[in-house]
Structure 1
């Protein structure tokens, strides 16, 4: 994971894709491919759907906590997925220590196509993203994304079960997976 995110190494995933190549996927590619998300947002637990997916160890977590360059690369991954889901970061948050996630120009189409529905595989991806961000030291970003999701689901399109997993991913102790 560290070598994949390290901008001086840029190691490829098991499919031979580097971070910049994955981040350059168009929205259809992000929707179609299901094996990249575990690389962009790894977890301490093994993936039940991708046996090649890396897992976060203590050494990996320590590297992300101590290296701003790794967290910056992780932030790039978050920004790409935010765009995919119809969000962007507020221009003000780019100049402060706080982050604010707001609707992007593509919100209506992107949100309906990806996450504003009762249940979708993107809900699982969102749970993964939220927890991975926290484990790797981007707690504020995880909380801002979670808040944006709730703020923009006022019509109740998303199932309570998915929202519960998202809440657990953001609020529970990091030693507990959201589904436990």
Structure 2
């Protein structure tokens, strides 16, 4: 009996559900995090929303290569994993308010999410998430600093 496809590239395997992150967790483990763990654990976001730049926040976090990005885009299971992670983060940002302040580490996470979703799923899905977080910010009296808002907008356009 096969355990499913073997994915040789680590981020691709993680998003497709057949691999583990640097801490040994599967994507399903992270999707099951409660909001306190989403807030308090800082080494999962780079696996769920990989970028071609090294993380300054988490040394040793994976860096997305062009080959791995292409493999993720071509694999429905990996794209579905990315979308599941996006849905979990949307629930987190819908159900918590701690990030709705002038400066918060979640602003960097949102920038990462927008860039990764734009590049690996679609610009439309990134724009939907942007509209959601921007709407939450506006409904809360616009506490997020203008610099973060500019980064979010730039992430949509790849700038």
Same fold (TM over 0.5): yes
Could you state the TM-score of these two structures normalised by the residue count of structure 1?
Answer: 0.77
Whether the 8 Å contact between 1:61 and 1:136 is mirrored in structure 2 is yes
Query: Counterpart of 1:91?
Result: none
**Distance change >3 Å, CA 150–CA 68, structure 1 → 2:** same
Determine which structure has the larger helix proportion and give its number.
2
**1:153 Cα deviation after fit:** 2.3
Segments of structure 2 that go 5 or more residues without pairing to the other structure are 1-10
Name segments (4+ residues, structure 1) moved above 4 Å: none
How does 1:65-84 map onto structure 2 within 5 Å? Answer: 65-84=73-92
RMSD: 1.3
Could you state the TM-score of these two structures normalised by the residue count of structure 2?
Answer: 0.87
Segments of structure 1 that go 5 or more residues without pairing to the other structure are 87-105, 174-180
Deviation string, structure 1 residues 86-116 (Cα, Å, up to 9, x no partner): 0xxxxxxxxxxxxxxxxxxx4xxx1x22x21
CA distance in 2, matches of 1:60, 1:35: 19
Whether the 8 Å contact between 2:51 and 2:112 is mirrored in structure 1 is yes
**1:52 Cα deviation after fit:** 2.4
CA distance in 1, matches of 2:158, 2:19: 32
